[in-house]
Amino acid sequence: MNKDQKIYSILVVEDSLTDAARIKELLVELNFDFEIRYAKNFEEAAEVLSSDDKFFDVVLLDQTLPGISAHTLVNKMIDKVLFCPIILLTSNEGVDFSIKSISQGISDYLIKEDLTAAMLYKSIICSIERKKIFFSYDDAKTRYSDLFHLSPLPMWVYDLGTFHFLDVNEAVIKKYGYTKEEFLKMTIKEIWPEEDYPIFDEGVNSFSQYRDNFKKRYLRHKKKNGAIINVEVQSNIIYFKNQKVKLVIANDITKQMQHITTIEAQNKSLKDIAWTHSHVVRAPLAKMMSIIGFMKESGSIPLEYEELLTHFFNSGTELDAIIRDIVKKTETINKAEDK
């Protein structure tokens, strides 16, 4: 076995000097460095664990210490440690209790009568690594909880089978007006306008709800006060309380949609104005310019009026250019919208 470069700090809680010496002998056999600290009873162990200047990698705990029951001992020791795994040292008679203790938070157990150096090393290393994984998972849950509950965007989790809300964040409550208790009694269909139910039914009966993760959808939702809002939603399947669920993020885009509607209405008005200029205004303008041209060519206009007619004709030409420019800009808007 290659030498482990880490120096392991170990607390041995054991009232038997013989058993404590045996554990040290087994540790010496192992090809790794360690620092060992002893405690003869729970009180001494509690005092050592309460010290701010000492962190242990593992606690080896005798299951039968004087003056305290095994059940109480396990519970109190678990309360005293956090990141540090606890390995129970037991006899053949105490195996059943040791197995039950694992569900309470004990990392592993070892039978004293059968204990070898290899078994001790394996138990220590595996217990330490399992504890790391546990806290890594626990940290991930904490980060998920923070991201979920502190998000400024409405987020909720719902059951893929029943469509009931399983959890909602504070932003959902503020946006939609329901309390959390009310949400947890509702299905996601109840925040849809009734006229959109056919769209909902078509969507939930499609396999697309099990894929298309984080694909954007644009829907309408109904708040508790009856107000309809436009939302952009994205969703993803996650595990929540050991079941597959859907996590949804909703962004209220009602104001953006209203802004777009206003712009579209303005563009339509501009098109109507351009069409009027192009077809209604230019028609009489063209007639007027034709009449002026005819009058100038007739030779029957007094000389003093010819210059005035020329000014009229030039003004008409300038007005026609302005109208053409308006029509051209409108056509540019039409092409941009078509794209």
User: Digits of tens for pLDDT over the chain (339 positions)?
Assistant: 555 667 888 999 999 999 999 999 998 888 778 889 999 999 999 888 887 556 788 999 999 999 999 999 999 998 888 678 999 999 888 888 888 888 888 889 999 998 999 999 999 989 888 877 666 555 556 666 767 888 899 999 999 889 999 999 999 999 999 999 999 999 999 999 999 999 888 876 654 555 545 578 899 999 999 999 999 998 888 777 767 888 999 999 998 877 767 777 777 776 766 666 566 666 677 777 777 777 777 767 776 677 777 777 788 788 778 777 776 776 666 665 555
Other C-beta atoms lying within 10 Å of the C-beta of residue 134? 14
The alpha-helical segments, DSSP class H, found in 150-228 are: 170-176, 180-183, 197-204
Whole-number Å distance between alpha carbons of 130 and 230: 47
What is the distance between the alpha carbons of residues 177 and 221, in angstroms, rounded to a whole number?
Answer: 12
Q: What is the pLDDT of residue 49?
A: 85
Instruction: Provide CATH code, domain 4-147.
Output: 3.40.50.2300
Would you state the pLDDT for residue 84? 85
**Token output for 203:** 């969507």
Round to whole Å and give the CA distance between 4 and 32: 5
Structure confidence at residue 280 (pLDDT):
64
Sequence spans of domains, the chain: 4-147, 153-252, 256-338
How many angstroms separate the CA atoms of 121 and 30, rounded?
7
Cβ contacts of residue 304 below 8 Å, gap of 6+? none
Rounded distance between C-alpha atoms, residue 200 and residue 189, angstroms: 7
Question: Exposed, middle or buried: residue 138 (CB in 10 Å: 0-12, 13-18, 19+)?
Answer: exposed
Question: Residue 150: its pLDDT value, please?
Answer: 83
Q: Is 137 left (phi over 0), alpha (psi -120 to 50) or beta?
A: alpha
Measure the CA angle with vertex 236, ends 231 and 242; round to 5°.
130
Residue with tokens 């409550």: 173
CATH number of the domain located at residue range(s) 153-252 in this protein: 3.30.450.20
Q: Please give the C-alpha separations between residue 331 and each of 258, 264, 272, 327, 334, in angstroms, as whole numbers.
A: 24, 15, 12, 6, 5
Give the pLDDT of residue 333. 61
SS3 state of residue 41: coil
**Cβ pair 229, 177 in contact under 8 A:** no
Residue among 242, 198, 239 nearest 220 (CA): 198
For the beta carbon of residue 234, count every other beta carbon within 10 angstroms: 16
CATH of 256-338, one of 1.10.10, 1.10.287, 2.60.40, 3.40.1000: 1.10.287
